[in-house]
């Protein structure tokens, strides 16, 4: 599933086509994705102006001048693809319609935004902007990693309450929003922390280092366009390339980039964790 860097990369790619633009026509080609689409979705989107395009955790939110926000969740294989506008130095022509183009937004600037999802694990919803915090997908999310509410004292207080492994705790969206399996593995390697270590037993100095490391790893991944392992594509259809910078993730039995010891893989909470047994304690 796309993590914060992939979703932020897509959001940035949508800006030239969507932000400040009116939706001339919304085309909804099926009644559901992972869950049913909202009632009268096409009619509620058609004619609406996109005032602002935001990200909350792993969700994209398009604030409309109607007082509603379009919530977009990419799921495992969802893609938001832009055509008909300039993206950087390139103008992308409109492609031929594809089988899995489930929602298509025709924008007033000539752009087209297409939600394509072969496996239909993604989702879209319309929510009142002033009530979005209560939406069942957003309620209970922790602070954003780049936000002012996420800091050393906050993280230390949360970790003190937790006897679970630090890897599991950092994946908990109630603790910090947007982190996923790839980036937690990379963060813990840079911090030199064994993913199995109990969260409450991590020293204060190491917790203090975690906050800037989390931000550094996420920032680097965003600048690289995210990580493309299977389905992730940027809004222009291009791959991300942060996967070429992985230090431990998906590198089982390969030599550690720091000490040369073989990278190990274990399973925690049904997810693979990658770490160096020499560098991470």
3 part of the active site: yes
pLDDT of res. 137: 96
User: d(Cα 18, Cα 134) in Å, to the nearest integer?
Assistant: 25
CA distances from 141 to 4, 45, 148, 170, 225 (A): 13, 26, 15, 13, 24
Predicted confidence band at 77 (pLDDT cuts at 50, 70, 90)? confident
What is the arithmetic mean of pLDDT over 146-159? Answer: 97
pLDDT of res. 237: 61
105, 98 Cβ separation under 8 angstroms: no
| Count of beta carbons in the 10 Å neighbourhood of residue 235 | 25
For residue range 123-138, what is the model confidence (pLDDT) as tens digits? 999 999 999 999 999 9
Strands (E), 99-198: 101-107, 112-116, 123-128
pLDDT of res. 245: 83
What is the arithmetic mean of pLDDT over 149-158? Answer: 97
What share of the chain in percent tops pLDDT 90? Answer: 82
pLDDT of res. 76: 86
Q: Residue 166 pLDDT > 70, yes or no?
A: yes
CATH hierarchy code of domain 4-134: 3.20.190.10
Q: Which residues pair with 133 in a beta bridge?
A: none
Q: Residue 261 pLDDT > 90, yes or no?
A: yes
65-66-67-68 Cα dihedral, nearest 10 degrees: -110
Predicted confidence band at 238 (pLDDT cuts at 50, 70, 90)? low
Predicted confidence band at 224 (pLDDT cuts at 50, 70, 90)? confident
What is the arithmetic mean of pLDDT over 169-197? Answer: 96
Predicted confidence band at 37 (pLDDT cuts at 50, 70, 90)? very high
What is the arithmetic mean of pLDDT over 188-207? Answer: 97
Q: Residue 226: left if φ>0, alpha if ψ -120 to 50, beta else—which one?
A: left
pLDDT of res. 155: 97
Confidence (pTM): 0.90
Q: Residue 34 pLDDT > 60, yes or no?
A: yes
Average per-residue pLDDT in the chain?
Answer: 92
Check 11, 55, 56, 58 and give the catalytic one: 58
Residue span(s) of the chain under CATH 1.10.8.50 come to: 152-275
2 part of the active site: yes
Residues of the chain by 3-state class (helix, strand, coil), percent to 5: 30, 25, 45
Predicted confidence band at 95 (pLDDT cuts at 50, 70, 90)? confident
Q: Residue 244 pLDDT > 90, yes or no?
A: no
Residue span(s) of the chain under CATH 3.20.190.10 come to: 4-134
pLDDT of res. 35: 96
CATH hierarchy code of domain 152-275: 1.10.8.50
For residue range 1-32, what is the model confidence (pLDDT) as tens digits? 788 999 999 999 899 999 999 999 999 999 99
pLDDT of res. 241: 52
User: d(Cα 104, Cα 81) in Å, to the nearest integer?
Assistant: 10
Q: Residue 159 pLDDT > 90, yes or no?
A: yes
Max CA separation in the chain (angstroms): 59
pLDDT of res. 234: 58
37, 31 Cβ separation under 8 angstroms: yes
pLDDT of res. 42: 98
């Amino acid at each position: 599933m796309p993590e914060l860097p992939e979703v932020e990369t897509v959001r940035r790619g949508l800006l030239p086509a969507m932000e400040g633009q009116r939706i001339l026509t919304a085309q909804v080609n099926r009644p559901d994705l992972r869950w049913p689409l909202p009632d009268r979705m096409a009619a509620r989107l058609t004619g609406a102006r996109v005032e602002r395009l935001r990200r909350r955790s792993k969700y994209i939110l398009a604030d409309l001048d109607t007082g509603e926000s379009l919530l977009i969740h990419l799921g495992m294989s969802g893609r938001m693809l832009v055509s008909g506008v300039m993206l950087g130095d390139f103008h992308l022509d409109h492609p031929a319609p594809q089988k899995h183009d489930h929602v298509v937004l025709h924008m007033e600037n000539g752009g087209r935004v297409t939600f394509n999802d072969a496996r239909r694990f993604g989702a879209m919803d319309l929510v009142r902007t002033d009530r979005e915090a209560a939406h069942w997908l957003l309620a209970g999310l922790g602070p954003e990693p780049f936000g002012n509410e996420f800091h050393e004292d906050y993280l230390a207080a949360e970790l003190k309450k937790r006897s679970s492994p630090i890897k599991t705790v950092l994946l908990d969206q109630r603790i910090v929003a947007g982190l996923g399996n790839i980036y937690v593995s990379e963060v813990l390697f840079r911090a030199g922390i064994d993913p199995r270590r109990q969260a409450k037993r991590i020293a204060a100095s190491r917790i203090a280092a975690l906050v800037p490391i989390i931000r550094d790893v996420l920032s680097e991944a965003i600048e690289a366009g995210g990580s493309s392992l299977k389905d992730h594509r940027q809004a222009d259809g291009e791959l991300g390339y942060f996967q070429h910078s992985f230090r431990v993730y998906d590198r089982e039995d390969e030599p550690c980039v720091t000490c040369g010891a073989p990278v190990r893989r274990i399973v925690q909470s049904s997810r693979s964790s990658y770490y160096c047994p020499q560098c991470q304690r």
